[in-house]
Structure 1
Amino acid sequence: MKLLTKTWIEEHLPHLASWKQSAFKDFSTMMNEKEHLYPCVPGKQGFNSDSLRFGFADSPVSPHAHKQAAEYLRQYSEVSRGTGKYASLVLFFNTEKQQGDIECYQDLFWKILNNIHAYDEKSWPEHIPLDPAQSAWEFCFHGEPYFVFCATPAHLNRKSRFFPYLLLAFQPRFVFDEINSETSQGRKLKNIIRTRLKNYDNAPIHPDLKWYGEDTNLEWKQYFLKDDNSSLSKCPFSGNKPTPPTRE
Structure 2
Amino acid sequence: MLINQGELANLTAEFWWGHAAISHVLSKFEAETGTRPKFPCIFGQNAVKRGNLRFLLIPYKFETSQYDLNVLASGLRTYIAHTDIRSIDLNHHCPLLVLFEPITTLTATDHFKRVFIEAMQFLLDEDHGTWPAHVSKDPAHHTWTMCFDGCELFVNVSHPGHVLRKSRNLGPGLAFVINPRKIFDIAAPADRKGRAITATIRRNIDIYDDVAHSPLLGSYLLGEAQWPQYMIPDNNEEAPIECPLHFK
Provide the TM-score with structure 2 as the length reference: 0.86
Distance 1:98 1:187 in 2: 42
**TM superposition shift of 1:177:** 3.2
Three-state SS of the structure 2 residue aligned to 1:182 is coil
Question: Does residue 1:8 correspond to 2:7, yes or no?
Answer: yes
Identity of aligned residues (%): 26
Give the corresponding residue for 2:199.
191
| Residue pair 1:57, 1:68 contacting (<8 A) in 2 also | yes
Question: Does residue 1:77 correspond to 2:45, yes or no?
Answer: no
Give the corresponding residue for 1:23.
21
Three-state SS of the structure 2 residue aligned to 1:32 is coil
Give the corresponding residue for 1:166.
174
Q: How does 1:1-248 map to 2 (within 5 A)?
A: 1=1, 3-9=2-8, 11-12=9-10, 17-34=15-32, 35-59=36-60, 63=66, 65-81=68-84, 85=90, 86-163=93-170, 164-215=172-223, 217-229=224-236, 230-232=238-240, 234-238=242-246, 240-241=247-248
Q: Which digits, 9 at most, give the CA deviation of each residue in 1:11-47, with x for residues without a partner?
A: 4469784421110110110122343211122122122
Q: CA 1:14–1:105 in structure 2 vs 1: closer, same or farther (change >3 Å)?
A: closer
| Residue pair 1:102, 1:226 contacting (<8 A) in 2 also | no
Three-state SS of the structure 1 residue aligned to 2:215 is coil
Gaps of 5+ in 2: none
Distance 2:40 2:76 in 1: 24
Q: Which digits, 9 at most, give the CA deviation of each residue in 1:192-229, with x for residues without a partner?
A: 211111111111211100111324x2100000011122
Greater Cα shift, 42-51 or 59-68 = 59-68
Distance 1:139 1:214 in 2: 17
Alignment-mate amino acid for residue 7 of structure 2: W
| Residue pair 1:136, 1:213 contacting (<8 A) in 2 also | no
Distance 2:164 2:60 in 1: 24
Gaps of 5+ in 1: 242-248
RMSD: 2.3
Q: Which digits, 9 at most, give the CA deviation of each residue in 1:94-150, with x for residues without a partner?
A: 023233322331222111111122111112111111111111110000000011011
Give the corresponding residue for 1:245.
none
Distance 1:25 1:49 in 2: 16
Provide the TM-score with structure 1 as the length reference: 0.86
